[in-house]
Every structure is written in C-alpha cells, then in structure tokens.
Amino acid sequence: MLASSLRRPARAVIPVARRRPRTGDYRLQPGGLRGSPRYAGRVFRRRSADPAEAVDQEAQGPVEAEPEPVADRAGVTPSKGRPTPKRSEAEKRRRQPYTAPSDRKAASQQSRDRDRTSRARKMEAMKRGESWALPRKDQGPVRALARDYVDSRRGLSEYYMFGVVLLVVLLFIPTLRKSPIVDYAVLVMLAVIVSEGVLVGGRVIRLAQQRFPGESTRGIRMYAAIRGTQFRRLRMPAPRVKRGDKI
C-alpha cells in the first residue's frame, strides 16, 4: 500500500496533431530541403526541347560536323610516319662507347689531347670573328666596327716596327750614337703614331654613335690606335674586310 501510494501517477499521452505544411512553406518540406518548391523542378530538372524545335530537327535529319584536321586540333600530335622505337632501343642508340684509360699516364695524355683540340677549335673560331670565342675586350658591335674601319685603311702606324728596327741599327753606329738625329727620329715616330691614333679613333667614335646610339664607346680610341700599330697578318681577330672597302 505504501509503495503504491508513493508512485507518481503516469501522465496521459495526448496525441498532437501534426501541422500540415502550408503551400509555399518551403522550410517544412520533407527531407529538410531549403529552397522554394517553385524552382526545384526548373533548376534541377533538364528541360526538354520544344515540340516545334524537335520536329524541325527530325525533319532536317542529323547534322554531321566536319572533321577538323588532325594538325589543327589542340593537344594532338600529327603522325611522324614511323613507329615509335622502344625505350631500350632509344637508350642503346643514345649511349656512346667509352673506353677508360688503363693507367694514369694514358688518362693524362687523353686529357691533354682533349684540351689541345678544344684550344685549336676556339682559336679557329676567334680567327673567324665568332663572338663566343672572342675575348671580352674584343666583344661588342662597336669593337667590331673599329676593327673593320682600321682594317679597311692603310696607315703609317702599321709600319712603325720597321722604324724601330732602323733606330736600333743606327744606335750601333758610333758617329750617330751621340747625334740628336736619333732622338728627333724617335719623337717624329711617336708623334705620327699618336696623331694617327687620335684621328682614326675620333672617326670610329662618330661612326659608332651614328650606327649604335645606345652602345658605349669607352676605350674605342685606344683600341683602334693599338690595332692600327699591328701588322695586318698578325691582327687578331683576323681582318674581315679588304683594304679600300667602304665601312
């Protein structure tokens, strides 16, 4: 009796009527879809073609597109006319036979031969005037113009070595050793070399400023003067023009 009296009375379960969703209440649709039902069919369902358009397409028949040329398609490589070689065959052709020297002496000899061949190749390229083989002091279009201008003319400075040899011979003559003639000859030779170098260098600078406005002409005067004092056959790089050619 006591236990039954202490029990709480069970609450009666009152059924609650479910609220019927109203038309247009998109938040209470099944599945929790948050979107208006007016656009669900239009957005997520593919629209079929209009009947008039479908009839016209059926009447005309299927339209075949013209095939594009293989070479014009993006990402398509045209056929090379031969089968692609296997990887093993390509690697075999790429490999070159190499025999290592048997001893240290043979290895050093092989290295010297390789260096000698490389130097000879570079020397031949420098004689031809190729830019990659030229020293830094001879590189550039302005330096090439100065060389061509000096090589196209004949100057007195080119024969100064003959004058030096003549002066050495005169010094061995006792009667002329104490004579001021040798001193005067040396001064005249130096004046000719300097004046000709200044004149030729100025012409080269003016010509370079006309043809290469943006290039630097620093040191061109001295460069042209030094080349003018060298024998034509000993000039390096070798002359590319003949005497009398217009530059």
In tens, the pLDDT along 146-158 reads: 999 999 998 888 8
Residue 161 structure tokens: 């070595």
- pLDDT on residue 69: 52
Q: What is the pLDDT of residues 89-103, one digit of tens each?
A: 777 777 666 666 677
Q: How many CB atoms sit inside 10 A of residue 151's CB?
A: 21
Residue type, 156: L
- How many domains does the structure of the chain reveal? 1
In a domain, 96, yes or no: no
Range of the domain at 211: 137-234
- pLDDT on residue 224: 93
Q: How many CB atoms sit inside 10 A of residue 196's CB?
A: 20
- pLDDT on residue 59: 47
Percent of the chain residues topping a pLDDT of 90: 19
Q: In whole angstroms, how far apart are CA 172 and each of 163, 164, 168, 175, 185? A: 15, 13, 7, 9, 15
Residue 119 structure tokens: 């130097």
- pLDDT on residue 228: 92
Enumerate the H helices of the chain as residue ranges: 2-6, 37-44, 51-60, 87-94, 104-128, 141-151, 160-171, 174-177, 181-211, 220-228
Which residue numbers in the chain have pLDDT < 70? 1-80, 95-101
In a domain, 154, yes or no: yes
- pLDDT on residue 45: 54
- pLDDT on residue 43: 53
- pLDDT on residue 129: 76
Angle of the 181-211 helix axis to the 141-151 helix axis, nearest 10 = 130
In a domain, 184, yes or no: yes
In a domain, 164, yes or no: yes
